[in-house]
Amino acid sequence: MSEEVINYLLAYENMKIIQRKDMFNFSLDTVLLANFCTINKDVNEIVDFGTNNAAIPLLLSQRTDKKITGIEIQKDAVDLAIKNVHINHLDEQISIIHADIKDYCTNCNKVKLIVCNPPFFKVGERSHLNDNKSLQIARHEIKINLEQIISCAAMMLENKGRLSMVHRPDRMIEIINMMQKYDIEPKRIRFVYPKYGKDSHIFLIEGIYKGNPGVKIEAPLYAHEENGEYSKEVKKMFGENIDD
C-alpha cells in the first residue's frame, strides 16, 4: 500500500485531505464541478456518485451545510474518504457509503442534487497499461458507464432535481442524448479552456429531471493565464483571496 500524505485542501487552511500516490487524486475537474453545481434552498441532500477520497463532498461543505452522501465502489477509496471526513470533523454532515451505484440507486431516498466526476474514457480507449487497477477504475468505464450513471441519476432524482457533471467535450453530444433519453433536460453548459486561444478540454453540464427544454451556454472559463498561472476565477475556487 502506498504511503498516505496529508495536505491542505487547496487554499482552505482549515481543511485537510489525505491522498495516496497509487490512487486517484483530485484535480481541477473536481474543483470546477464542486463550484458549478446549483445548490438552492430546495436541495435536501447532495449525492456524489463515485466520490473516491471525498474531495467533492469536502469542497461542497464549504458552500453548504446540507447533508452530503458520497457513494464509492472501491474499498480502499472508501476507507480514505472516511478518514478525510473524520479529520475535517464533518462526520455529522458527510456520509460515505461503500456500494455500487447501480445497486444503491434501486433502494434509496430521492434527492434534489446529484454530482458526478465520472470515468472519462470508455474501456479500451486511451488505455494506460501501466496503471494499477484503482486508477483504471477511476479513469475508465470498467465498473460503470455513462448510460448507467445517467439512468441511475434519473432513478434517484426528485422531479426538478438536478444532475451536474464534468466531462470531455468530445462526449458532449453523447451525454446530451443520454440525458434526454432518461428525461433529464440539459439546462446549463459551461466550456473550460486551458487558456485563451486554446480548444476546450473540459465542459460542465447540469440537467433537470423532467425539466422544461431550454439550455443556457454560460461564459467560458479559462483555467490559466498566458504566464501559466491559474486564472483569478480558478484561484477563487481554490479558496484564495483575490482582489478584483
Give the model confidence (pLDDT) of 52-63 as tens digits. 999 999 999 999
Question: Would strands 67-72 and 94-98 be described as parallel, antiparallel, or unpaired?
Answer: parallel
**CA angle, 160 as apex, 153 and 201 as ends, to 5°?**
55
Instruction: Report the alpha-carbon distance of residue 108 to residue 229 in Å, rounded.
Output: 43
C-beta of residue 148 within 8 angstroms of C-beta of residue 85: no
Instruction: Report the alpha-carbon distance of residue 197 to residue 23 in Å, rounded.
Output: 33
What is the pLDDT, as a whole number, of residue 107?
Answer: 84
Residue 159: beta bridge partners? none
What is the pLDDT, as a whole number, of residue 221?
Answer: 96
CB neighbours (10 Å) of residue 164? 22
Cβ-proximal residues to 234 (8 Å cutoff; 6+ apart), any chain: 28, 31, 221, 223, 224
What is the pLDDT, as a whole number, of residue 139?
Answer: 54
CB neighbours (10 Å) of residue 61? 22
Question: Has residue 180 got a pLDDT over 70?
Answer: yes
Alpha helices in the chain (DSSP H): 28-36, 55-60, 75-87, 101-104, 133-139, 146-156, 172-181, 232-237
C-beta of residue 112 within 8 angstroms of C-beta of residue 41: no
Q: Quick: pLDDT tens for 182-217.
A: 999 999 999 999 999 999 999 999 999 999 999 999
What's the predicted TM-score (pTM) here? 0.89
Residue 188: beta bridge partners? 206, 216
Q: Quick: pLDDT tens for 113-158.
A: 999 998 645 555 555 544 555 544 445 445 678 999 999 999 999 9
User: Is residue 88 helix, strand or coil?
Assistant: coil
Question: Would strands 184-193 and 202-209 be described as parallel, antiparallel, or unpaired?
Answer: antiparallel
Helix, strand, coil shares of the chain, percent, nearest 5, are: 30, 30, 40
